[in-house]
Structures are given as C-alpha cells and as structure tokens.
Amino acid sequence: MSRAAKRWLAVGVIGIVLLVVLSSSVYTVDASEQVVVLEFGKPVGAPVTEPGLHFKKPFIQEVRRFDKRLLSWDGDPNQIPTRGREFISVDATARWRIADALQFLRSVKDVSGAQSRLNDVIDSVVRDMVSSTELVEIVRSADWDVSQEDLEGEVVPAESDIGQLTKQIEVGRERLESAILEEARKVMPQYGVELADVRIKRLNYIDSVRQQVFNRMISERQRIAEQFRSEGEGEAARIRGDTAQQLAEIRSEAKREAEIIRGQADAEATRIYAEAFGQDPQFYEFARFLEVYAETLADRTVLVLDAQGEMFRHLRGQGARDGAGADGR
C-alpha cells in the first residue's frame, strides 16, 4: 500500500471516530419533552427543558427523556361506602404532569412508577372523602336548585325521593372533587409530579345494591301505575254514572213528551169524534157498531144475541131497511 493510500485511510478512520464522538455528544430536545443527563447512571445538572440542540460528554453521559405535557391517569373502580352506608362504585380520573424531572427520576424512575404512586395516593384520598360524604352530596351539584315545576311532573315521586331532591346541598360534586384534588396535591411534590385535576367520571351502585335499587324502582313504578289505574277507574265510574243519569233524564223527558203528545192526540181524536157525532149521531152510532161487529165476528163464529139488545136491534133495523128496499123494487 502506498504512502498516500495509508494517509487517506488514516484520515478516513479519524473522520469516522470524530463523527462517532460528535454523534454521541450531541442530542436534541423536543418542545414537548424535558431531558435529564445521566453520568455513570447518576443525574448531573438541572433538567434540560429548552428545546433545540444540546451537547453532553460522549460515551460517559446519556440522556433520559420525560414528557412535559399533561398525562392521564385512570384508576380502577373502587367499592366505597358513603357516610350513609350506601355501597357505591366510584371510578375516578386525573390529569398530571412531570413538574420536576430530576426528582421524578429519583423517586419513581418512570411513568409506570408514577402511575403506581398515583393509584395509591388518589385512591386513598377518594376513599376517605367519599366515605365521609352523603350520597346526595356526591351526586348533586351545590348550584342545582329543584323547582316546584320539577316536582310536579307526570310521574309522582315518593316522599323519600322528594326529601332527597329538596335537600339543601352543602358540599356538592364540584367541591368534593376540589377537596380531593387539594388533598392529593400535598403528596405529589415528593415524586416530582404536579396534579392538575381530579374528577369522578362515573358513580354507580355495586351489583348487589343495584339490583335492590332496580327492584325498588320497579315497585315504585308499579305503585304509580296502580295509582293512575285506580284514578282512571274512578274517573270511568264517574263518567258512567253521569252517562246513566243523563240517559235516565233523556228517557224521562222523552216519556213525558210522549205522554203529552199522546194526550193531545187523544184530545184531538175525541174532539173530532164529538164533532162527527154532533153532525149525525145515528150514523156515528151505526159506524161504531160496525167496528164492534168486525172485531167480534169471524169465520164460524156463533153469536148469541138478546132480542132486545142494542146489537140485535141494529141488525134487525138494517134488515128492515133492506126489506123496505126490496119492497120498493
């Protein structure tokens, strides 16, 4: 190998070494993160929070990166008794950030360790606060006012429910969450963590109590349905009674009017009969007897008459007239 080739080889090796040294001594910091420089596994200096290009000692120093943004924490639902001994399932959530990366690294190492500490701290505080608070205070807000219109709905609530709805709220959901946040924040600085917010995202009864609540709701709705049904039956009976009374009044009035019309018709018929009788009494009497004959005599009817009776007299008189007519022919 020639001297020039050896010289270029040496330059190349030196260049590669310098490139490796330079790459191991330069690092970048993103705007969303912060960096702790470790030397032989121990942190040196303050955390680097300024974004951009930075330098460190090559080979003997390394960087540990931590997020500066808000991180979420979601705990597991816990069964907690309230002050009134109602067992409920409480599911809480929180938002936190790494406030002191150096203290964070020394105390919990990483995000997984921080999540474990948050589980212990927040769950403990939530349990203490919920167990010392009435259920209505946990569920309702302090600024929620129940008006009389809200109570006068289609479904009539029970007396116990009205008492819970109209109860004056002293703490409320928001103040309870604020108290949980304030209490949990006291412990967080030792872990290099800043707790930004804690919220109760879900409340529910435990399974055994939930079934009892469902049964109570069913029985309450059945009671309300029975009440509505009873009121409906009473209203139906009242309507039927009114209808029967109105029908009896209509029938009575119709009967009265019918009797009046019938009386007027009988009077008019009597008047007509009287006028007809006054014009020709003998003919009227004869016509009436003919009607009697038509109603009395039928096929194969045997009629026994008194010779001195009126009916026989008319028959005889008619025969005499017929005989006179025959003599005239």
Residue 270 lies in a domain: no
Residue 52 sits in the same domain as residue 102: no
Residue 167 lies in a domain: yes
Token representation of residue 290: 């003919």
Of 160, 189, 205, which residue constitutes the final position of a domain?
205
| Integer angstrom CA distances of residue 187 from 106, 190, 302 | 16, 6, 132
Residue 298 sits in the same domain as residue 198: no
In the predicted model, what is the mean pLDDT of residues 208-222? 79
pLDDT of residue 56: 86
The whole-angstrom separation of Cα 88 and Cα 206 is: 5
Residue 91 lies in a domain: yes
pLDDT in tens, 57-93: 888 888 999 999 999 999 889 899 998 888 899 999 9
Residue 77 sits in the same domain as residue 191: yes
pLDDT of residue 114: 94
- Give me the domain span that covers residue 318: 280-329
H or E element in which residue 90 lies: strand 87-98
The whole-angstrom separation of Cα 257 and Cα 221 is: 53
Residue 179 lies in a domain: yes
Beta-carbon contacts of 82 under 8 Å, excluding residues fewer than 6 positions away, are 88, 130, 131, 133, 134, 135, 138
Of 22, 38, 67, which residue constitutes the final position of a domain?
67
Q: Residue 14: how many CA atoms within 13 Å on its side-chain side?
A: 6
In the predicted model, what is the mean pLDDT of residues 94-119? 94
Mean pLDDT across the chain: 81
Q: Decide: 90 and 126 in contact? Cβ < 8 Å.
A: yes
pLDDT of residue 154: 45
Residue 197 sits in the same domain as residue 85: yes
> What secondary structure letter does DSSP report for 108?
T
Residue 327 pLDDT > 80: no
How many domains, the chain?
A: 3
Higher pLDDT: 69 or 217? It is 69
Q: Decide: 292 and 315 in contact? Cβ < 8 Å.
A: no
Token representation of residue 306: 């008194």
Q: Is the dihedral of CA 79, 80, 82, 86 positive or negative?
A: positive
Residue 191 sits in the same domain as residue 135: yes
Residue 88 sits in the same domain as residue 166: yes
Residue 104 sits in the same domain as residue 198: yes
